[in-house]
Amino acid sequence: MRRQGLDHQEKPVRNTKQKIDKTKLDLANRLFFKLYQCSNMLHKTGSRAVEEEGLTTQQWAVLGALSRDEGSAGMSVGDLARYLMVSRQNLSGLISRMERDGHLTTAADDRDRRSRLVRISDSGRKLWLQKATPKINAYYEDVLTDFSVNDVTHALHYLLKLLDNMKRIDDAARDASDAAE
């Protein structure tokens, strides 16, 4: 009799855990789908915000990365790809187009002649500072119109946590791939 009582008590606990797990997975599905939608809308509406300057959100990200103090001396293609979390292949074509348009310059790295340093050009810096940045700031204000500073801080906190976990997964996959070779 006692054994039946334990089984009876364990079953609701397991069902509760299963319900929590299912709820978490359902919420995760919604969360990641919303992130996907946000990414697509950022590309669409963000590109629209800077299209008058001949830029896309990808070019905006490259100019933004290179305009930081850490990027002012230039960045290798590999470092820039890691910073932006894109493949070197995708970045190479983008850099070529931006160099062709006069926004960037590339040159051999004095420390490693096999590596190329990407720098924002004078005209690219002028475009970034005088034309693109004011439009990007207006875009941010418009998108975040109903957000308090606290809301933005919390959103950033949770996005950073997600990003850290995704990096951990990516690093583990890269390590496994390297070990298999």
Q: Residue 9: its pLDDT value, please?
A: 56
* Containing structural domain, residue 100: 51-145
Q: Extract the tokens encoding 22.
A: 């299912």
Name, in order, each residue with C-beta under 8 angstroms of 102's C-beta and a sequence gap of 6 or more.
121, 123, 124
Please give the C-alpha separations between residue 30 and each of 27, 36, 48, 88, 164, in angstroms, as whole numbers: 5, 10, 26, 30, 20
- Name the β-bridge partners of 116: 108
The domain tally of the chain equals: 1
The region that residue 74 occupies, defined by phi over 0 for left and psi between -120 and 50 for alpha, beta otherwise, is left
Cβ pair 78, 87 in contact under 8 A: no
- Looking at the domain assignment, is residue 66 inside a domain? yes
- Looking at the domain assignment, is residue 82 inside a domain? yes
- Looking at the domain assignment, is residue 69 inside a domain? yes
Q: Residue 115: its pLDDT value, please?
A: 78
- Looking at the domain assignment, is residue 132 inside a domain? yes
CATH code, 70:
1.10.10.10
Q: Residue 10: its pLDDT value, please?
A: 54
In tens, the pLDDT along 10-27 reads: 555 567 878 888 899 999
Cβ pair 37, 78 in contact under 8 A: no
Residues comprising the chain, all counted: 181
Calculate mean pLDDT across residues 161-179: 91
